Homo-oligomer: A and B are copies of this chain.
Amino acid sequence: MKTLKIPEATVIRLSVYSRYLAQVDRRGITTISSGEIADGTGVSPAQVRKDLAYFGEFGTRGVGYNVKDLYWHIIKILGLNTTWSVVIIGAGNLGTALSMYGGFRERGFKVVGIFDNAPHKIGYRLNGVEVYPMERLKEIIEKEKAQIAIIAVPAEHAQEVADQLAETSIQGILNFAPCVINVPERIELRNVDLSVNLELITFNLALRRSLKGGK
């Protein structure tokens, strides 16, 4: 595998391609061209081929790509050929929603524990997954071999939770709290700010208005 830096946009598109290929496969289609993938996912054919070229040669010139093969190649590239065990920190509304989110299971993620420090929540099961007290974080992560943690606590407590996670064998953190957190280099961190997505909409709506009104 080349050591070239892969653009994040490429990884996101690979995810989109894989979903589209799964859909095409369900329709019983066995071969597909970069142009067809492009049409189905809203990118350019050159983009599709370039994205794939970072990782190898998966097609046959003059023919195209085998749908199933390419699907599995991408799944492997994305690291989704194995099941990932996930813990969720915070059994509030967001944590509860995420624990039941079908989109995770579909892509091979398995929620193995939810953590909270509200005594009345401990011991409950959400979607079959037990709610544990925060004191058992390290124990359960190690017992269940969880590799990824999702932080779904209020912003005030996010860093505190991150510090506790840093003491465990967790490899990746997805942070939904709207704040910046610091974690050791060895942990792969990603922040999702749900509000920013609405703000990108309001920005564009405000821009449209000012173009109409202002001009």
A residues adjacent to B (C-beta < 8 A): 1, 3, 6, 8, 11-12, 14-15, 19, 41-42, 76-80, 84, 86, 92-94, 96-104, 106-107, 109, 147-148, 154, 171-174, 178, 180, 188, 190, 192-208, 210-211, 214
Q: Contacts A106-B195, A107-B195: A202 and B98 contacting too (C-beta < 8 A)?
A: no
Q: Is the CB of A11 within 8 A of B200?
A: yes
Q: Is the CB of A79 within 8 A of B8?
A: no
Cβ contacts A to B, 13 pairs, < 8 Å: A12-B196, A12-B200, A78-B203, A79-B203, A79-B205, A86-B198, A93-B97, A93-B101, A96-B97, A103-B195, A148-B201, A171-B205, A174-B197
Chain B's closest residue to A155 (CB) is B103
Select which of B11, B194, B198 is within 8 A of A203 by beta carbon: B11
Q: Is the CB of B80 within 8 A of A199?
A: yes
Q: Is the CB of B101 within 8 A of A202?
A: no
